């Protein structure tokens, strides 16, 4: 079973790396939905690729699978900072790639309905009424990011990055956290503020391992562990 999970984690890491390559492969075409000005002209642009859409679907399937499985932790120890940083990096990139692909796909479909021809990207110098869908998706992205980090904490689940790095948030008795949404939101916010505090950055640069019971690892009875 452990060997199978290791293979699955490796495949997910390769999936994440594939999304990085996919977004940086063609710098000429837009990726996601953008509004920008060039030479005094307002541009509306959107773009994605068939590969990005496939990776988006696979990534969403992986996330949905994680949302169906409760986290179980037996033996564990306090998670080192570097492990938590990498997990957060994977999670942030997954959110950015997923929401960028989604925010591009919807405008591309609306543009195809307007013009009668589907293209994987467009860049025009004028507004149309359907462009408001892209603006609405921009605000939807903030809600999506919050839900991605908060809902797993509220339901004994894991984000993609935490699953890959074998990280879980537990109570002082070692049981996996399951808290109301309000507490889950506060815990997620605490995780961000902790990891990006000068204190934490200094500890990871100097290679000092966190000690259980410090402010660095514990918030209101929660501990971040690796298992």
Nearest Cα residue to 134 out of 28, 35, 29, 36: 35
Helix (H, G, I), strand (E, B) or coil at 74: coil
Q: What is the mean pLDDT of residues 200-209?
A: 63
pLDDT in tens, 63-76: 999 999 999 888 88
In 3-107, DSSP assigns E strands to 32-38, 41-47, 77-78
Looking at the structure of the chain, the number of domains it has is 1
Which pair of tokens denotes residue 63?
Answer: 């996330």
Average pLDDT in the chain? 85
pTM attached to this predicted model: 0.84
Domain that holds residue 213: 2-226
Helix (H, G, I), strand (E, B) or coil at 75: coil
pLDDT at 201 over 70: no
Which pair of tokens denotes residue 154?
Answer: 């509220």
Query: From CA 131, how far away is CA 144, in angstroms rounded?
Result: 20
Bridge partner residues of 169 (DSSP): 224
pLDDT at 212 over 50: no
Bridge partner residues of 78 (DSSP): 225
Give me the DSSP letters along 79-100: PPHHHHHHHHHHHHHHHHHHHH
pLDDT in tens, 95-109: 999 989 988 999 999
Measured over the CA atoms of residue 168, residue 172, residue 176 and residue 179, the dihedral's sign is negative
């Amino acid at each position: 079973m452990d060997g199978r999970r290791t293979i699955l984690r490796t495949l997910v890491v390769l999936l994440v790396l594939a999304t990085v390559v996919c977004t940086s492969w063609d710098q000429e075409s837009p990726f996601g939905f953008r509004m920008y000005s060039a030479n005094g002209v307002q541009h509306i642009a959107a773009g994605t690729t068939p590969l990005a859409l496939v990776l988006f679907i696979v990534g969403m399937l992986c996330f949905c699978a994680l949302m169906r499985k409760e986290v179980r932790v037996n033996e564990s120890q306090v998670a080192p900072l570097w492990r938590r940083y990498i997990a957060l990096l994977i999670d942030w990139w997954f959110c950015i790639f997923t929401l960028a692909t989604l925010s591009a796909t919807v405008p591309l479909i609306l543009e195809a309905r307007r013009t009668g021809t589907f293209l994987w990207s467009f860049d025009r110098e004028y507004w149309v009424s359907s462009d408001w869908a892209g603006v609405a998706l921009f605000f939807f992205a903030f809600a999506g990011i919050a839900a991605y980090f908060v809902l797993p904490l509220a339901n004994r689940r894991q984000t993609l990055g935490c699953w890959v790095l074998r990280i879980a948030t537990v109570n002082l008795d070692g049981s996996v956290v399951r808290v109301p949404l309000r507490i889950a939101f506060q815990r997620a916010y605490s995780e961000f503020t902790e990891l990006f505090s000068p204190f934490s950055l200094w500890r990871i640069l100097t290679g000092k391992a966190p000690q259980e019971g410090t402010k660095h690892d514990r918030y209101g009875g929660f501990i971040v562990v690796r298992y």
